[in-house]
């Protein structure tokens, strides 16, 4: 009978217990008293385990460790006043450890004021496990516990979702990869943040792929087994002292790690910090690279950046930007090449960037580069012109390379080659496509001949030409081109033929404009 059911009464304690159950709380530690006893009983009735302890402090320590071990907050149930005061030690400890914890205290009855009901629960759960995990306190007035309410008047709130996963900025991921690669004595420090993030599989892969010696902090132990050949736990002091690059995975540069300062570390050691808490980045030392995000996700990003061959636009421009002289002219044209290049390659001086411009013209690049080089030659000798061209864009005025060589202009041409306009095909797809049919019938209009050696246009006229496929080759050829002031050069950079820009974050903006 509906009318009867809607009259059915339930106690506040039961509602609280049900809310805990909904949040996947499995364990409650505490010491009961007025008014929280009923909550403990109600919790047990719903299958939640209640462990009565002898002091709230120990109960709170226990509940916080549940949070670390399971990723969902453990609950510490205490009475108001001294109960809560005793729990403070455990709450502070959980906060310092960055472990989720829910402390529920019973306070005296409310007089007049009303609370925001049990909605407080998921909010508390959320703030305990989202961002940097930590302790949360929910205060429940005594009359709430014993209140009888109509079942039908209870508003059920859903289980709080697991924390969203955040990733680090792409350019920082590339920088980190290159700093690690160029390190002479790299060291990975694995902290309890890495353990909490369940990053064991990805970190072990990273250790092995980069051949990185690692040092676990006390609670970072076991993320990669202590008996792993790259574990340097036994030589801790030495490892800290002689590392030139240190990657921190969920470990803070606090007293446990001697604040990251000399004499325990090299004065010029480069720190790469990975943490989910922005405020932690740059604490005590100025890091070389900061990666803000979830450790597991960031580690996977690093793994992907290592093996991403062929290169994509971001990898290319990151390595170009790294070496560009601040005062150089940047000339650019192409579709993705120009668009993406613009976001990564920096200008520091006015009137030092020339590109396809208002009219979006392809074919202007080499002419612009020649003009800039003439001005540079006459007004500030030594200044360089970097001309970043898509492979299609380069084709529009490629023969001006002869002009560049004839006047021996200080131009470095970078052809970012994806075998096409916007996108092209790799050699295999190309061959497959042409097996039985005529090119004009089957080749998509945006495709250009794959693997074209545009650098030979430069060598044909006596300049330097480079054909590059890896970040290392790109770095090296660019370094040589910049050092060689006697000759112009062209670096033909092969990238993933299907590489595109990152998907736009703001579809809704462009749509509403249509």
| Positions that interact with ligand ADP (CB under 6 A) | 97-98, 132, 191-193, 196-197, 217, 219-220, 250-252, 254, 256, 275-277, 280, 294-295
Q: How far is the CB of 196 from ligand ADP (least distance, A)?
A: 5
> Which distant-in-sequence residues (6+ apart) come within 8 Å of 139 by Cβ?
80, 104, 105, 106, 107
Contacted entry of ligand ADP, Mg ion, none for residue 277, CB cut-off 5 to 8 Å set by kind: ligand ADP
Instruction: Tell the burial category of 437 from Cβ atoms under 10 Å away from its Cβ (0-12, 13-18, 19+).
Output: exposed
Residue 446: CA atoms inside 13 Å, Cβ hemisphere, count?
13
User: Which residue's CB is nearer to ligand ADP, number 31 or number 189?
Assistant: 189
Q: How far is the CB of 131 from ligand ADP (least distance, A)?
A: 8
- Confirm if 372 and 409 have CB atoms less than 8 A apart: no
According to the binding rule CB under 5 A, does residue 34 interact with Mg ion?
no
- Confirm if 253 and 265 have CB atoms less than 8 A apart: no
Contacted entry of ligand ADP, Mg ion, none for residue 355, CB cut-off 5 to 8 Å set by kind: none
* 427 token code pair: 């050699």
Q: How far is the CB of 192 from ligand ADP (least distance, A)?
A: 4
Contacted entry of ligand ADP, Mg ion, none for residue 280, CB cut-off 5 to 8 Å set by kind: ligand ADP
Q: How far is the CB of 183 from Mg ion (least distance, A)?
A: 21
Tell me 508's DSSP state. Answer: H
Give dist(CA 122, CA 128) in Å, integer: 10
Helix ranges (DSSP H) in 73-199: 82-97, 120-129, 142-146, 170-181, 192-196
Q: How far is the CB of 373 from ligand ADP (least distance, A)?
A: 47
> Which distant-in-sequence residues (6+ apart) come within 8 Å of 497 by Cβ?
310, 418, 419, 420, 423, 424, 425, 426, 450
According to the binding rule CB under 5 A, does residue 115 interact with Mg ion?
no
User: Which residue's CB is nearer to ligand ADP, number 126 or number 132?
Assistant: 132
User: Which residue's CB is nearer to Mg ion, number 256 or number 460?
Assistant: 256
User: Which residue's CB is nearer to ligand ADP, number 74 or number 450?
Assistant: 74
Give dist(CA 135, CA 75) in Å, integer: 10
Give dist(CA 437, CA 435) in Å, integer: 6
Query: What is the dihedral angle through the alpha carbons of 83, 87, 88, 91, rounded to the nearest 10 degrees?
Result: -150
Contacted entry of Mg ion, ligand ADP, none for residue 220, CB cut-off 5 to 8 Å set by kind: ligand ADP
Helix/strand/coil for 354: strand
Contacted entry of ligand ADP, Mg ion, none for residue 132, CB cut-off 5 to 8 Å set by kind: ligand ADP
- Confirm if 210 and 272 have CB atoms less than 8 A apart: no
Q: How far is the CB of 275 from ligand ADP (least distance, A)?
A: 5
Our separate counts of H helices and E strands in the chain read: 22, 18
Q: How far is the CB of 236 from Mg ion (least distance, A)?
A: 14
Q: Interaction with Mg ion in 293-332: which residues (CB under 5 A)?
A: none
The dihedral sign for the CA sequence 97, 98, 101, 105: positive
Q: Interaction with Mg ion in 242-281: which residues (CB under 5 A)?
A: 251-252, 256
Contacted entry of Mg ion, ligand ADP, none for residue 276, CB cut-off 5 to 8 Å set by kind: ligand ADP
User: Which residue's CB is nearer to Mg ion, number 141 or number 220?
Assistant: 220
Number of residues that bind Mg ion (CB under 5 A): 3
Cβ-closest position to ligand ADP:
193
User: Which residue's CB is nearer to ligand ADP, number 28 or number 197?
Assistant: 197
Helix/strand/coil for 294: coil
Q: How far is the CB of 318 from Mg ion (least distance, A)?
A: 30
Q: How far is the CB of 252 from Mg ion (least distance, A)?
A: 4
Q: How many CB atoms lie within 10 A of CB 3?
A: 6
According to the binding rule CB under 5 A, does residue 72 interact with Mg ion?
no
- Confirm if 48 and 71 have CB atoms less than 8 A apart: no
User: Which residue's CB is nearer to ligand ADP, number 40 or number 173?
Assistant: 173
> Bridge-partner residues for 291, per DSSP?
274
Contacted entry of ligand ADP, Mg ion, none for residue 239, CB cut-off 5 to 8 Å set by kind: none
Closest C-alpha to 491, from 357, 408, 391:
391
User: Which residue's CB is nearer to Mg ion, number 252 or number 319?
Assistant: 252
Q: How far is the CB of 506 from ligand ADP (least distance, A)?
A: 27
User: Which residue's CB is nearer to Mg ion, number 96 or number 309?
Assistant: 96
Contacted entry of Mg ion, ligand ADP, none for residue 196, CB cut-off 5 to 8 Å set by kind: ligand ADP
For Mg ion, the binding residues (CB under 5 A) are 251-252, 256
């Amino acid at each position: 009978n509906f009318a009867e059911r809607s009259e059915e009464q339930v106690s506040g304690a039961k509602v609280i217990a049900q809310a805990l159950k909904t949040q996947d709380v499995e364990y409650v530690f505490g010491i009961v008293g007025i008014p929280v006893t009923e909550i403990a009983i109600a919790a047990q009735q719903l299958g939640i385990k209640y462990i009565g302890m002898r002091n709230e402090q120990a109960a709170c320590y226990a509940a916080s460790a549940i949070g670390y071990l399971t990723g969902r907050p453990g609950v510490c149930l205490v009475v108001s006043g001294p109960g809560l005061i005793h729990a403070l030690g455990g709450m502070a400890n959980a906060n310092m450890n960055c472990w989720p914890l829910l402390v529920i205290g019973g306070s005296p009855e409310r007089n007049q004021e009303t609370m925001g009901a049990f909605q407080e629960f998921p909010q508390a759960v959320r703030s305990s496990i989202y961002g940097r995990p930590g302790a949360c306190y929910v205060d429940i007035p005594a009359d709430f516990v014993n209140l009888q309410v109509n079942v039908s008047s209870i508003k059920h709130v859903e289980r709080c979702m697991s924390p969203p996963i955040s990733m680090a900025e792409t350019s920082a991921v590339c920088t980190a990869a290159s700093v690690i690669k160029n390190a002479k004595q790299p060291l990975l420090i694995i902290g309890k943040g890495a353990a909490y993030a369940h990053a064991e599989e990805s970190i072990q892969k990273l250790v092995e792929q980069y051949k990185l010696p690692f040092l676990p902090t006390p609670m970072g132990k076991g993320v990669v087994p202590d008996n792993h050949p790259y574990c340097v736990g036994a030589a801790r002091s030495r490892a800290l002292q002689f590392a030139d690059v240190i990657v921190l995975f969920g470990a803070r540069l606090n007293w446990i790690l001697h604040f990251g300062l000399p004499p325990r570390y090299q004065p010029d050691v480069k720190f790469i910090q990975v943490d989910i808490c922005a405020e932690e980045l740059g604490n005590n030392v100025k890091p070389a690279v900061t990666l803000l995000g979830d450790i597991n996700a960031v580690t996977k990003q690093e793994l992907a950046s290592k093996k991403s061959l062929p290169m994509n636009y971001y990898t290319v421009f990151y390595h170009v930007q790294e070496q560009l002289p601040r005062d150089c002219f940047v000339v650019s044209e192409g579709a993705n090449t120009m668009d993406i290049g613009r976001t990564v390659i920096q200008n520091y001086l006015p009137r030092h960037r020339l590109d396809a411009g208002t009219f979006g013209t392809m074919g202007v690049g080499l002419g612009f580069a020649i003009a800039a080089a003439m001005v540079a030659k006459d007004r500030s000798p030594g200044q360089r012109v970097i001309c970043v061209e898509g492979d299609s864009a380069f084709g529009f005025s490629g023969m001006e390379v002869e002009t560049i060589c004839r006047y021996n202009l200080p131009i470095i041409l970078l052809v970012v080659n994806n075998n096409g306009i916007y996108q092209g095909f790799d050699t295999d797809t190309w061959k497959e496509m042409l097996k039985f049919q005529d090119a004009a019938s089957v080749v998509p209009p945006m495709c250009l001949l794959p693997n074209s050696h545009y650098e030979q246009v430069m060598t044909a006229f006596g300049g330097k030409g480079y054909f590059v496929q890896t970040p290392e080759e790109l770095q090296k050829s660019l370094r040589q081109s910049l050092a060689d002031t006697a000759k112009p050069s062209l670096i033909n950079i092969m990238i993933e033929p299907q590489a595109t820009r990152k998907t736009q974050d703001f579809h809704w903006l462009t749509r509403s404009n249509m």
